[in-house]
Structure 1
Amino acid sequence: MAIAVGFTSKPEGVAALETAIEEARLRDLGIIAVVPDEADLQVAQQRLAATGVAHEVRPCEELQPLADALLELAETSAVEFIVIGLRRRTPVGKLLLGSNAQRILLDAPCPVVAVKAAPHPPADGG
């Protein structure tokens, strides 16, 4: 069994990967990181290699959205759960959940853990 995680180098992607690493260590599972951007493949590989957790990094198929790649992985592999990162939103933006996140939450054949990145500390005004 493994944990599937969607990774980008954005704060929400980093938060998702860090959560997946923590959970993998607690549960003695491997990680399959799905990466939509070619530039982030090496970043994901380096972050995971430093952890000692069994892992695999997979690029999304050409023009395949991250949501499709994660859902396909969950349907065809032994995935215990999926970890995704959510962006912080404005009050108006909170009315709508991101379409990728919503699709994964509603259509995944396994549990989904959704995490937010830590808030940035306010700029010091003095």
Structure 2
Amino acid sequence: MSVAVAVTDSPEGRLALESAVAEAQKLGTGLLLINLTLHDFAEAEAPSGLEVTVINRSGRGDRDPATAVIDELNERSEVDRLVLGVRARSRVGKLILGSVAQRIILRSPVPVLTVRRDATRR
């Protein structure tokens, strides 16, 4: 059993990582960190006190972020939940731009725990 988290270079990504660490600690399990940033995670950035497996992307030419997350979840049967940071989008934003988070939520083979920043913390 393990908890997966998709981490981005955003406040939502940092919140997702913090929440996933708390979830893994609560369950006494490992953490699969799917790095959607464009830099490799250094050991100093990985949470301590947990068994952490880091999956780094190789850059913009790598797979679509949603596909990368879904592929990793499909390949790892030990993952039993995914933590994902989300943010509110305007109606126009929903119409014009697709949402990576929405595609992951709809296609995930495991339950997804979504976390979002409180509107007062912006």
Q: Quick one: distance in 2 between partners of 1:26 and 1:39?
A: 28
Q: What SS class does the counterpart of residue 101 from structure 2 fall into?
A: helix
- What is the alpha-carbon root mean square deviation over aligned residues? 2.4
Q: What SS class does the counterpart of residue 81 from structure 2 fall into?
A: strand
2:32 counterpart letter in structure 1 = I
- Equivalent of residue 58 in structure 1, options 55, 58, 64: 55
Shift of the 5–88 alpha-carbon distance from structure 1 to 2, 3 Å rule, reads same
Which position in structure 1 is the counterpart of 2:69?
A: 70
Which position in structure 2 is the counterpart of 1:4?
A: 4
CA contact (8 A) 1:31 1:56 kept: yes
Shift of the 34–22 alpha-carbon distance from structure 1 to 2, 3 Å rule, reads same
Q: Which range is displaced more, 102-111 or 112-121?
A: 112-121
Identical aligned residues as a percent: 34
**When the two structures are superposed, what TM-score results if normalisation uses the length of structure 2?**
0.81
Greater percentage in helix: 1
1:4-52 deviations in Å (ceiling 9; x for gaps): 111123100001000100000000111111112332522xx42324x31
Q: What SS class does the counterpart of residue 41 from structure 1 fall into?
A: coil
Q: Quick one: distance in 2 between partners of 1:97 and 1:20?
A: 27
Q: What SS class does the counterpart of residue 53 from structure 1 fall into?
A: coil
- Of structures 1 and 2, the larger Rg is shown by 1
Where structure 1 has 5 or more consecutive residues not aligned to the other structure, the ranges are none
Per-residue deviation at 1:115? 0.8
Which position in structure 2 is the counterpart of 1:47?
A: 45
1:69-89 deviations in Å (ceiling 9; x for gaps): 211111111111111111233
CA contact (8 A) 1:73 1:79 kept: no
Q: Quick one: distance in 2 between partners of 1:94 and 1:109?
A: 24
Q: Quick one: distance in 2 between partners of 1:46 and 1:65?
A: 27
Per-residue deviation at 1:94? 6.4
**When the two structures are superposed, what TM-score results if normalisation uses the length of structure 1?**
0.79
